[in-house]
Amino acid sequence: MTDTPFVSTAWLAEHLSDPDVAIVDGSWYLPAVNRDPRAEYLAGHIPGAIFFDVDQYADLSTGLPHMLMQSEAFGTLAGSLGIGDDMTIVVYDGMGLFSAPRVRWTFEAMGAKHVFILDGGLPKWRAEGRPLEAGEARRSPTTFKVSFDAAGVASLDQMQAYSQDGARQIADARPGLRFRGEAPEPRPGLKSGHMPMAKSAPADTLVENGTLKPVETLRAQFAEAGIDLDKPIVTTCGSGVTAATLKLALEQAGAKDVVLYDGAWAEWGGRDDTEVLKG
């Protein structure tokens, strides 16, 4: 296997039929993009890939978008999808590198031991003329033993502390205009701006042609943003999706201690007891 978070399209093509390789279509899109990930999956996906519904495979009781499921429920779900915690899980998405990091992080947070992202995602797979299949793929049910990494998920209370004491640097993956409060949030009812002490590191500036930019480029961008890779970091975004892309990029650049705020701006920006800054 690989010592990076990625596997190549060539590697996956060679292992399509391996019973211990579980392929996951983790496509999800912002509402403004007006794309239906499930319909696209049914029309054509990598052979054997299971569709992971980011919005529905979530804790729907919180009122916040695609929050992590309770661990027992996730274990039951993953097992029913035919995905075991010891399998090699390869996640991809329809944009190349957008929502796949979130799905990878979800499986890792729940205890999956070998989770990778398909480098270049579905666009690269298609461009190379590799096979696709339509309809719903199914795998035989198995067991997913959950080992939830609570320490890797930051809570609202922790974020309020970090925004005051700086014990963790806060890296915000939203576009700069939203971070500065110069553009409205796509979700209605949320305040505009950013958390105190947060640094702007837009996820869309870290990706090029469906893959992460080179490590040296990422390091330079984080340095310019004022993010110290040698100190603890927590990532956030609009709803917890691109925060995972930012976390992935930070770790590739050399950061050793990065956690993710699952509630993200959907939680912070919708409350009356959170401080919001502009500029």
**Domains in the chain: ranges and CATH:** 6-148 (3.40.250.10), 151-268 (3.40.250.10)
**What's the per-residue H, E or C state across 151-214?**
HHEECHHHHHHHHHHCCCEEEECCCHHHHCCCCCCCCCCCCCCECCCEEECCHHHCEECCEECC
pLDDT at 21: 98
pTM for the model: 0.97
pLDDT at 80: 98
pLDDT at 32: 86
Separation between Cα atoms, residue 245 and residue 79, nearest integer Å: 26
Torsion (CA) 210, 212, 216, 218 in degrees, nearest 10? 110
pLDDT at 2: 54
Catalytic residue IDs: 237
Positions of the chain with pLDDT lower than 50, given as ranges: none
pLDDT at 31: 87
pLDDT at 1: 52
Per-residue pLDDT of 41-76, as tens digits, reads 999 999 999 999 999 999 999 999 999 999 999 999
pLDDT at 167: 98
DSSP letter assigned to residue 277? B
Whether residue 27 contacts residue 139, with contact meaning beta carbons closer than 8 Å, is answered with no
Q: Letter for the amino acid at 205?
A: T
Separation between Cα atoms, residue 226 and residue 37, nearest integer Å: 35
